[in-house]
Amino acid sequence: MSCFSTQAALVLVFTGGWCMCAADVGDFTPCLQFFYKSWPPKGLTGTPICQRFNNQYRFATLYSRPRRSPWFSAYLYSVPEGRRPTACWKFEPQLAYPGADGNMIPFPPGPVDQNVVESQGVELDYTNSTYSRGHLDPSLHHQSHEDRSATFTLTNVVPQKAGSNDGPWEDLEQTINKTLSAYCLGEAYVVTGIIPYQSDEHWLKNHRVAVPEYMWSAYCCPNYNNSLPEELKDAFPTYAAIGRNDRNSTEEIVPVSQTAKKQFRGYDVRQMPLDTLEMYLRDRFGTVVSVFYEQCSGSD
């Protein structure tokens, strides 16, 4: 099903060459509001994208052009309302055309412009693959319909096994929703990213889009309700998790539970303090990775 409109078609044609508007690629400056203390995570390198939809910034993504998929997306959590929007997948014209309008655009029903295909993942990469489209910034963590729709851009998506996406990872997204909606009193900053394979990079069928071995997520809520129930004592101001995306992975980072339902077995999520996550990121990336300014110590 396509969600392409003639309006979007006109935007695409019109902005093909000469628009001198801000590109929203290569610099987080216009969207620093999505990072705690306006401080994007340190230690990872890629192409910054300020994700713009209908002329408003919605979240931020650090994109990897060679992997044609994101390192992480960063966003502000808000309590969701209404139903999940129907999937209307979009792309970023400015990754293909530096002068293009910064708004994301729905994929056209027919063939996709070759420069767009070269510059990013497209719907055909995922069609008939053994991976689903896994949101980093999930639609579930946003209030407005437009904010939720904006998460359906392929630059916010990685190849994720259905056993993770529909199982333990979805449970994590719901747990975070419950925890933050109940006890976070101010802004909740979330960063969700991936951990690549150590060696033997995995790719979607035609070797264009890289598959992550793990997904991770961390939030920072400096202003929270102090009367926390016992089981949430460690969950504020910051907490993190790593989820398996490959049944064959070893169990050093995330152990496997043998009691999980068969279809979800091997896709466990392990919740952990932020510094434990940062230790695993440092090990795998070979450099210090800092997700939040001063580890979200809340010293404002």
Ligand X SMILES: *[C@@H]1O[C@H](CO)[C@@H](O)[C@H](O)[C@H]1NC(C)=O
Choice between 35 and 219, CB closer to ligand X: 219
Identify the residue among 225, 257, 263, 297 touching ligand X (CB under 6 A): 225
Among 45, 54, 143, 174, binds ligand X (CB under 6 A): 174
178 touches ligand X (CB under 6 A): yes
Question: Applying CB under 6 A, which of residues 246, 271, 284, 285 lies at the interface with ligand X?
Answer: 246
Minimum distance between the CB of residue 202 and ligand X, rounded to whole angstroms?
Answer: 6
- Least distance from ligand X to the Cβ atom of residue 70, Å: 20
Residues 69-88 that bind ligand X (CB under 6 A): 79-80
By beta-carbon proximity to ligand X, the closer residue of 140 and 256 is 140
Distance of alpha carbon 280 from alpha carbon 132, whole angstroms:
25
Binding mask 2-41 for ligand X (x = CB under 6 A): ----------------------------------------
Region 121-140 residues binding ligand X, contact defined as CB under 6 A: 124, 127-128, 140
Rounded distance, CA 263 to CA 208, Å? 27
Residues 260-285, buried b or exposed e (16+ Cβ, 10 A)? eeeebbbbbbbbbebeebbebbeebe
Q: Determine, following the binding rule CB under 6 A, whether residue 177 of this chain makes contact with ligand X.
A: yes
How far apart are CB 287 and ligand X at their closest, in Å? 26
Burial code (b: 16+ CB inside 10 Å, e: under 16) for 21-36 equals eebbbeebeebbebbb
| Contact stretch for ligand X (CB under 6 A) within 15-23, 176-184, 234-242, 285-293 | 176-184
CB of 245 to ligand X, least distance (A): 8
Which is nearer to ligand X, 64 or 164 (by Cβ)?
Answer: 164
Q: Where along the sequence are the contacts to ligand X (CB under 6 A)?
A: 79-80, 124, 127-128, 140, 174, 177-178, 181, 185, 225, 227, 246, 248
